[in-house]
Structure 1
């Protein structure tokens, strides 16, 4: 794992590594139908977006190496009931609020932006009629990732 996360414990690093897959599942499963296009887009974005987030360094290699396995394992392990599953994912992602303040603000900001971006990519991956209204209301509800505090919110503490 890249040195930008050296201040984190192993369990916190695991949460940071799992976060993109969890965000993808949150959005893809929001309408209770995880589409293969959503999965494919999430994997593609998570493994190719490195050039957009210069502060995250080797993080993307670790994410790329593990994303698909993490995604598939969590899909099998998460509850089947929509509300219970969404609540479990939201609670998991909320743990980032205690982790991100431990890393450099630029790193936290880029990680937060990456998670927002992957959420949007997944939401736009399928649905809609002829590309119109591709993001469902259920997906739109989670797109801002309100459960994760914006880095600017805790920099002021």
Structure 2
């Protein structure tokens, strides 16, 4: 694992590693229907995004190598009831609020931005005319990832 997370415990690193898959599941499952296009887009974005975030190259390599397995495991392990599943994922992602302040603020910003970006990519993966750029109401309510504090909110701590 990259040195940018050297201040974190192993269990905290695992949460940061799993967060992209959890965000993808949160958004993809918001309408209670995770379709193959959403899964494919989430996996594709996670495996190709490293060029967009300069401080996180090794993180993206690790995420890319594990993303599909993590995502598929969560699909089968999470509750099937929509409200319970969304609550479980939200609670999981809230853990980042005590983890990201422990890393360099720029790293925290890039991780947060990546999570926002993957949420948007997944939301735009299906629906609309010919499946192009249509975000459902159910998915839209999760796009801002309000359960995760913005890094600027805790930089002054």
Q: TM-score, normalised by structure 2?
A: 0.98
Q: How does 1:100-111 map to 2 (within 5 A)?
A: 100-111=100-111
2:39 counterpart of 1:39:
yes
CA deviation after TM superposition for structure 1 residue 101, in Å: 0.1
For the residues of structure 1 that align with 2:103 and 2:132, how far apart are their CA atoms? 39
Q: How does 1:39-118 map to 2 (within 5 A)?
A: 39-118=39-118
Aligned residues: 157
CA deviation after TM superposition for structure 1 residue 131, in Å: 5.0
> For 1:98-153, what per-residue CA distance to the aligned partner results, in whole angstroms no more than 9, with x for missing partners?
00000000000000000000000000000123456610000000000000000000
For the residues of structure 2 that align with 1:145 and 1:4, how far apart are their CA atoms? 23
Runs of 4+ in 1 over 2 A off after TM superposition: 129-133
Structure 1 unmatched runs, 5+ = none
> For 1:19-38, what per-residue CA distance to the aligned partner results, in whole angstroms no more than 9, with x for missing partners?
00000000000000001000
Q: TM-score, normalised by structure 1?
A: 0.98
